[in-house]
Chain A
Amino acid sequence: MPLLFPLVLSALLFAIGTYAVLARRNAVLVLMGVELMLNAVNLNLVAFDAYLRDVVHSGQVLTLFVIAVAAAEIGLGLAIVLAVFRSYGHIDADRLRALADSDAVDEQIAAEQTVGTEETAGGPVPADAAGGR
């Protein structure tokens, strides 16, 4: 098999993932684009493992590591997305302009949120749970 087959396929997948990251508005779909890019890299690693006939299987083992790191990344990323949804009421990447967590920003968000009704997705906060994070 020509080495170009997997390499071109992974280049195309990487470009498609780039488009998803840049163009999608929903933050979950942006994460899907990241997954596509990671898979393109994995395909490269596996292809070069087969091409170089590596005895210690560096490419395949690294692919497994990348898959594990991607699982960690998607878990953390979705936790962040859910936290953003809980405090802003939407996960629209275009409208998420504030990185800060200051009170002024909170008030501005609260003013914006008077239109969109939203309730937290989490459970009730225990009354005695004091202390900041």
Chain B
Amino acid sequence: MSAVEVLFVLLGVVAVGSALLVVTTGRLVHSALWLVVTLGALAGCYLLLAAEFVAWVQVLIYVGAVVVLLLFALMLTRAPTGPQLGETTGNRALAAVVAAAVAIVLVTTVVAGFGGVRISLDDALLGSAGSTGEAIFRFWVLPFEVLSVLLLAALVGAIALSRPVRHRSGGEGD
């Protein structure tokens, strides 16, 4: 195995391990912080797969913004910071079975489909900011603009949803 492969396997182990901690830890805030580790390891994987710009966007958007949003939501919903016992639903065993089935099906499918196929990273096209930007603004302009409208719509929707409730029929006013 080359150095890149060893590094990728290590990052993958870190990502899967911290993802398991995200879904199993009883402390809600720790869960969000383990998510940072998972997303950071995935950003390292992107770097190894020659997707440099995507890796930095991952760090900026996910680690920087999404996790902070999640932490804010945990705080605003008064999540307890101590260890919690009943943080999983009653059908936890069923969920574990479904997740294991998903893992088995997906892994056997990709092994059957792509076993032995190699990515040649030596002459891979580096996804730097320049080349990615050129690709976006030369070939993907229309989806990009549509996406900006979508983001605006989501922003307006989030603001509209999180305004204080104004009361229907004047009951239990807040």
Contacts and interface: CB of A to CB of B under 8 A. Distances in A.
Contact of B8 (A1, A73, A80): A1
A80 B161 contact: yes
A119 B77 CA distance: 11
A18 B171 contact: no
A24 B87 CA distance: 6
A32 B51 contact: no
Given A16-B99, A124-B164, A28 B28 contact: yes
Contacts of A39: 38-39, 42, 62
B73 A1 contact: no
Contacts of B9: 5
A75 B70 CA distance: 9
B48 to A, nearest CB: 8
Interface residues of B, number: 103
A85 B143 CA distance: 35
A69 interface: yes
A132 B160 CA distance: 12
Nearest to B157: A76
A57 B131 contact: yes
A61 B57 CA distance: 11
B12 to A, nearest CB: 4
A28 B49 CA distance: 31
Given A49-B51, A110-B172, A25 B87 contact: yes
Given A12-B103, A39-B38, A125-B166, A24 B23 contact: yes
Contacts of B79: 26, 28
A79 B69 CA distance: 10
A11 B12 CA distance: 11
Contact of B136 (A4, A55, A61, A70): A61
A68 B127 CA distance: 18
Contact of A19 (B4, B95, B167): B95
13 contacts: A15-B100, A17-B23, A25-B89, A28-B70, A39-B39, A56-B139, A60-B51, A61-B135, A68-B151, A76-B161, A86-B174, A120-B165, A120-B174
Interface of B: 2, 4-5, 8-9, 12, 15-16, 19-20, 22-23, 28, 31-32, 35, 38-39, 42, 45-46, 48-51, 53-54, 57-58, 61-62, 65-66, 69-70, 72-74, 76-77, 79, 86-92, 94-96, 98-100, 102-103, 106-107, 110-111, 114-119, 121, 123-125, 127, 131-132, 135-136, 138-140, 143-144, 147, 150-151, 153-155, 157-169, 171-174
Interface of A: 1-9, 11-20, 22-26, 28-29, 31-33, 35-36, 39, 42-43, 46-47, 49-51, 53-57, 60-61, 63-65, 67-76, 78-83, 85-87, 91, 93-94, 103, 106, 110, 119-125, 129-133
